[in-house]
Amino acid sequence: MPAPRLLVLGDPKMLPALAGGLRDGGRFDVTGVSLAEPAAAQAAAAGADAVALFYGAPGAPLAAALQALAPKVRERGGRLVAVLQREQAGQRDECFRAGASDLLFMPTPKDQFVDRLVASVALAFRAGDGAPAPVAVATRSASLRLDRATVSPAGVESSSQLPFKAGETVRLSWGTFQSWGLVVRGAPSAQIRFAGLTHDEEGKIREWVKSAAQQQPAAAQASPPRPATSPPSGQRPPATAVQATSVVPRPTPTPQSDSAPVRPSPPPPQAAQSSAAARAAPVAGPPPGFMDRKPARPQAPTASSAADGSPATSAAVARAAPVPSLTPPHSPAARPAPKSSNGDGALTSLFGAEGSARAPAPAAKTPSPPAGPPWPRPVAIDVCKTAAMQLLQGANPGRDIPTNVAASARKLTALLSLWERASIEKSGIDSHFVHALGARIALEVATAEGTRLASANVSLTVDMEAMASLTKLADEAAARLQKEANTAIGKGEVESLQLVTAASASLSRDLLNLKETGDRLRGVAGAPRLGGGGLDPDLVLPGQQSRLKSLAAQQTLAPVKPELRDFRGLDDRPGRAKGVFAVLLVAACIGVGVYSFYFALPQHVIVKAGSAGPGVQRVDVTGPAAVVTITPQWLTASETNLPKLVQLLRARQVKKAVLMLPNGTASGIVDVATGKASGIPPAPY
C-alpha cells in the first residue's frame, strides 16, 4: 500500500527540518511548501491526502490558512491537521472552527508525534478499557445524544449509529468534560476519536476512566444476588417479572429429596435491608432489629417477591428497574397478588409497594430562556500582531484583517510611545512588546464588541470558555513581560524596566475592562461603581416597609458628656461678626498692598538732563541712587561739569550715582554727599 501523500506547510526557515523529519521511516510521501506562497499551497493541497500546517507565519495566520485550504482538502475526504505550540492553546477552538480535522501540540517526541499524525490521517481507533457514560455529540447543524456510550482514553464508542460521515469534526461533552472529536465511522456502530487534546487533558480523561471503571465493580459487589432455593416438589413457582427479564439470571434449582420437606430459610438482615432500600425511598427502611425477629407465622410467597421467595432477588429487580420488562400486560406475572383473608396481602402491599405508590411525582422543569448569540469571539493573536506590524510600518492592514481588528489596532498603536516603537522596529514581530500589543488588541476587540451589544440591548450568552481563552492569552503575554522585566533588573537597565512596566500596566488595564464588560453583560454588575447605596432607594417591594427617611432623622447626634453640658452655649454666636471681620481683613490686605506699591518701594523718576550741564544725556533716579548717562566729551571736562551734576543730584536727594556711557560702559561713581567722583578715566592728551 503506498504511503499517504502529506503536504507540510510552515515557515520557510523551519520547512526543511520539518519535511525531513516526517520523511524518516517512509510512512509519508512528504512535500514541503512555504506558507508565504499561498498560490503554491493551494495547488499542492489539491493532490494531497493530508495537509499539516505548522504554527502559522507573520504574513499568513494559521486560522486564515486553514479556512482557505479546508474546502479543497476536507471535501475530498482528506485530513487537515494544525500543529500549535503549547502556549498557542488558546487558538484551538478557532482552528477547529476554521476547518481543521485534528490538532497536535508541540514539543512532542518525534516518534510519538509521527504516530499520532499517522493515526489521525488513517482515522485509527484503538479500543481499550472504558467507562459507560451518556455523551452528547454536536455539529454545526445537528445535535445527538448517545445514552449507551463507552468513553476510553482513545475516544467514544457506541453501538448506536450516527448520521455523520467519517472524518467529520464534532463536539463531545459528557459529565464535566468537553472536547473535540473526529468521526472514525458512523455505522453500524459509532466510533469517535478525541482530537486536539493537550497532555494534561489526556491525563485527566485517563484518571476519569480509571476511577469510573473502579466504581462499577464496587457497586456490583455491594449487593450481589443471592442464589434461590428450589421450590417444593410438585409445586410450580409463581410467575413474576423476574422470569421475563434478562437482567437477573434465574439460579439453577438444587436437587433435593421428595420426602424431605423444604422450608424457606429466613432472609438474612443484609438482603432484607437492601430489598427494603430498593423498594422505598433512600432514607426509608425498617427500624433497627426489625429483621432479626422471627416471623409470627410462615410467610407465603407473593407476586411482589422473587420466584424462590427470597427478597434478595426482588432487590436485584429493583436495581434493574430502568430496563423495560418483556412481560405483556395481560400475563399473570403482571397481575397483582391476591390478598389473603388473614391480612397477609395487606401487609405485603404495605411494605412491598409503599415506595412505588407514594413516590412523589417529578416536578415540572421550568423551560430555560432562549440563549442569545455567544460573546466574546476570540481573535487569533497572530492576526492582531500582523495588523499591528503593518500599521507600525506605515502600511494599511490587508484585506485578510477584519475591520474590527484593524480599528482596535489603529487605536492602540497610536498610543505607543517612541521608545516602544523603537524597540519593536529593532526586534521585529518576535518582540515581547508585539506579543503584548497583540493580546491587547484581542482584548480590545472583545471589549468593544461587548460594549456595542450592551448599548444595543441584545440578549446574549457569555461564553466562559472564550473568556478563559482570552484571559489565558493575556496571562501568557504578562508572563513574557515579567520575564523581560527580570532580565532588565539583572542587567540594571532602568529604561527597559520602565518600558516593560508600562506595557504590563496597559495589558492589565485592558484585561480588567474586558472582565468588567463581561460582568455587566452577565448581570453581575448592573450598577457598576455605585456600591450598595447606588440603587434606587424609592423602589419598595411588596411586603417591605418604606426606607425613605428625612435627613434630620438619618443624622443622629452624638450624646453630650455631662461635664460638657455647661459649655454648649459658648459656640452659639451670631454669624455677623465673622462677616465683618472678613471684610476688615480684606480691606487691610488691600491697604498693605497699596502702601507697599506706592510708598515702601522706591519710585523711578527720569530727570531732565538740561540742568545738569553739557554732555549729560539722561538721569534716572530710583530712590537714593541714580544712573547718569554721559557722553565721552563730558569726561574730557569732568572737573568743570561735575559740580553742576552734583547740584542736580542733591536736589533729588540722591546719595550715590553711577556714570554710564551710551554704549553701557561704566565710567565712574559719584559720591553726592562729598561731591567727588571716583573711577573716572583720565582724559587723553
Full-prediction pTM beyond 0.75? no
For strand 143-151 and strand 131-138, is the pairing parallel, antiparallel, or unpaired? antiparallel
User: Between 124 and 304, where is the model more confident?
Assistant: 124
Q: What is the pLDDT of residue 63?
A: 85
Q: How confident is the model at residue 524 (pLDDT cuts 50, 70, 90)?
A: low
CA angle 246, 247, 250 (to 5 degrees): 70
CA distances from 567 to 281, 460, 572, 574, 578 (A): 76, 65, 10, 16, 21
CA angle 206, 208, 214 (to 5 degrees): 105
Q: Which CATH number fits domain 604-678: 1.10.10, 2.30.30, 3.30.300, 3.30.1400?
A: 3.30.300
**Contact between residue 348 and residue 273 where contact means Cβ atoms under 8 Å apart:** no
pLDDT for 384 equals: 92
Q: What is the mean pLDDT of residues 191-210?
A: 89
Residue 193 in this model has a pLDDT that exceeds 80: yes
Rounded to whole angstroms, the Cα distance separating 630 from 647 reads: 16
- For the segment 412-451, what is each residue's pLDDT rounded down to a tens digit? 998 888 888 888 888 888 889 999 999 999 999 999 998 8
Number of residues that make up the chain: 685
What's the CATH class of domain 5-122? alpha beta
**What is the structure's pLDDT at 217?**
65
Residue listed under C-alpha cell 499517522 = 118
The CA–CA distances, whole Å, from 359 to 316, 329, 362, 366 equal: 19, 22, 9, 21
SS3 sequence of 94-128: HHHHHCCCEEEEECCCHHHHHHHHHHHHHCCCCCC
Mean pLDDT of the chain: 74
Lowest-confidence segment of 37-41, 325-329, 596-600 by average pLDDT = 325-329
- Hey, which residues does 375 pair with through a beta bridge? 462
Give the pLDDT band of residue 20 (cuts 50, 70, 90): confident
Helix (H) or strand (E) holding 44: helix 38-45
In this prediction, what percent of the chain has a pLDDT beyond 70?
68
Evaluate if residue 278 carries a pLDDT over 90: no
Sheet holding 5-10, edge to edge: 29-34, 5-10, 50-54, 79-85, 102-106
d(CA 663, CA 435): 67
For residues 528-541, average pLDDT: 51
Residue 280's identity, in one-letter code, is A
pLDDT at 123: 87
Q: What is the pLDDT of residue 430?
A: 87
pLDDT of residue 365: 54
Contact 438, 388 (CB under 8 A): yes
Range name among 100-114, 172-186, 252-266, 567-581 with the lowest pLDDT average = 252-266
| Least trusted range by pLDDT, from 55-64, 139-148, 439-448 | 55-64
pLDDT at residue 340, rounded to an integer: 41
Query: Quick one: pLDDT at residue 363?
Result: 52
* Average of per-residue pLDDT across 581-586: 89
Answer yes or no: is pLDDT of 60 > 60.
yes
Decide if 269 contacts 291 (C-beta within 8 A).
Answer: yes
Q: Work out whether the CA dihedral 120, 123, 128, 131 comes out positive or negative.
A: positive
Which segment of 257-261, 298-302, 507-511 scores lowest on mean pLDDT?
257-261
Cell for 354? 409503599
Report the top-level CATH class of 131-219. Answer: mainly beta
What's the CA gap between 35 and 49, in Å, rounded? 18
Highest mean pLDDT of the ranges 114-123, 197-206, 288-297, 503-512: 503-512
Quote the percentage of the chain above a pLDDT of 90: 12
Per-residue pLDDT at 556: 58
> Any idea what the Cα angle at residue 216 is, between residues 212 and 217, rounded to 5°?
130
State the Cα angle at 365 between 363 and 367, rounded to 5°.
Answer: 160
In the chain, domain spans: 5-122, 131-219, 376-522, 604-678
* Residue 107: burial class (beta carbons within 10 Å; 0-12, 13-18, 19+): exposed
Q: Greater confidence, 360 or 92? A: 92
Q: Would you say 302 and 352 are in contact if contact means Cβ atoms under 8 Å apart?
A: yes
435-492 residue pLDDT tens: 999 999 999 999 999 888 888 777 778 888 889 999 999 999 999 999 999 998 988 8
pLDDT, mean of residues 267-293: 44
CA distance 39 to 606: 91
Q: What is the pLDDT of residue 504?
A: 93
**pLDDT higher than 70, residue 684:** no
Instruction: Mention every residue, 6+ apart, whose C-beta is less than 8 A from residue 557.
Output: none
Peptide bond between residue 374 and the one before it cis (omega within 30 degrees of 0): no
Q: Do 147 and 133 meet the contact criterion of CB atoms below 8 Å apart? A: no
User: Could you check whether 131-219 and 604-678 share the same CATH topology?
Assistant: no
Does residue 182 contact residue 147 with C-beta atoms inside 8 Å? Answer: no
